[in-house]
Structure 1
Amino acid sequence: MMKKKDIFIPLIGKKNKIIGFEKKEKVHIKGLLHSAVSVFIFKYNPKDNNILLMLQKRSSKKYHSSLLWTNTCCSHPKKNESILKAAHRCLIEEMGFDCFLKKKFCFTYYELLNNGLIEYELDHVFIGYYAYPPIINSKEVDKWKWITLKKLIIDMYLYPNSYTIWFKIIINKYLKKLNF
């Protein structure tokens, strides 16, 4: 019988093709290349003519990168689930809402995490727009907030260890590709 935590995610091979599936925890222990999704939700604030980004602080219950600030939500596609469906699922499961999502780009990165786990991901990045407060799932999310990109960049500079590695890579290297 498969345990609840035995979630199988796609392994990626040459030309970004799925070559199999493995347990999520094993993928992060062995550092196997796998698919991921990162969702960025924006809203326009007409009071100060700013674009705001919805951030989440990951739950203390997460087995890696817990209590770090990151993009609106992130996850891995499950076996036989499309990348787009995974993005919508994680938005609903973590933040309690859904909206139109547009894929902007994907990138691959390899990073060692503080707890000895390895992130080696082909990360598919989506954006969407939503103007209301989320209804967070406390098993997934500790807190959330809206933030301007200017304040975010300053905070990331002052407190880089408060943010997930993939989020820092996206903001530092790919911000212009978000084209919000």
Structure 2
Amino acid sequence: MKEEYVVLVDSNDRKIGLMPKLEAHEKAVLHRAFSVFIMNSKGQTMLQQRAADKYHSPLLWTNTCCSHQRDGESNLDAGKRRLFEEMGFVTELNELFSFVYKAPFDNGLTEHELDHVMMGHFEGTPEINPDEVADWKWMYPADIKEDIENNPNKYTEWFKIIFDKFYHHLISGKVNEGQSK
């Protein structure tokens, strides 16, 4: 398997180099990433449960998909690529906002990412990749918020951070039918 590299960036999202993905997570180096949220016409968000053999956060619930841009790949192209690789479908995505976060894990790895948060719409049933995803479900954002408060150990560390920002973005009225205002 070919080693994956992440794009190292400064706080203004300017590329400053490349590093193997695992090394970047071991050293907690700031790198570019993205998080995709898929909504349906009922206003529900598609969540995925990470596969059991993931090297961190196995079997925890998280947003529809997330990963890292490849060198030279646009944010939206990366989001569409990974959405297809993990969930088996493609849809148009809109970038909503980006921000920097840092989330350490029990295994010594740390996510330190400049995360580009995207949203799209889908009405069908995904064809999940079992190497990446154990399960999936639709939930209303208010129910996700409540479940995170009541059962935080069921969710990935980054999802708890990103979802809070996504939820406030939704309820502030900055998103209407999947379009940024």
**TM-score, normalised by the number of residues in structure 1:** 0.91
Match of 1:39 in 2: 36
Q: 1:148 aligns with which of 124, 140, 145?
A: 140
Any idea what the Cα deviations from partners look like across 1:16-39, whole Å, max 9, x if unmatched? 201110100000000000011100
Match of 2:13 in 1: 16
2: distance between equivalents of 1:148 and 1:20?
A: 39
Question: Matches of residues 83-162 of structure 1 in structure 2 within 5 Å?
Answer: 83-162=75-154
2: distance between equivalents of 1:8 and 1:170?
A: 23
Unaligned stretches of 5+ residues in structure 1: 46-50
Match of 1:61 in 2: 53
Any idea what the Cα deviations from partners look like across 1:111-146, whole Å, max 9, x if unmatched? 211111011000000000000010000001010001
* RMSD between superposed Cα atoms in Å: 1.2
- SS state at 1:44 partner: coil
Q: How many residues align?
A: 172
Unaligned stretches of 5+ residues in structure 2: none
1: distance between equivalents of 2:165 and 2:116?
A: 15
- SS state at 1:176 partner: helix
- SS state at 1:40 partner: strand
- Post-superposition offset of 1:14: 4.7
Amino acid at match of 1:113: F
Pair 1:26-2:23 in alignment: yes
- SS state at 2:145 partner: helix
Amino acid at match of 1:96: G
Match of 1:48 in 2: none
Q: 1:172 aligns with which of 139, 144, 164?
A: 164
**TM-score, normalised by the number of residues in structure 2:** 0.91
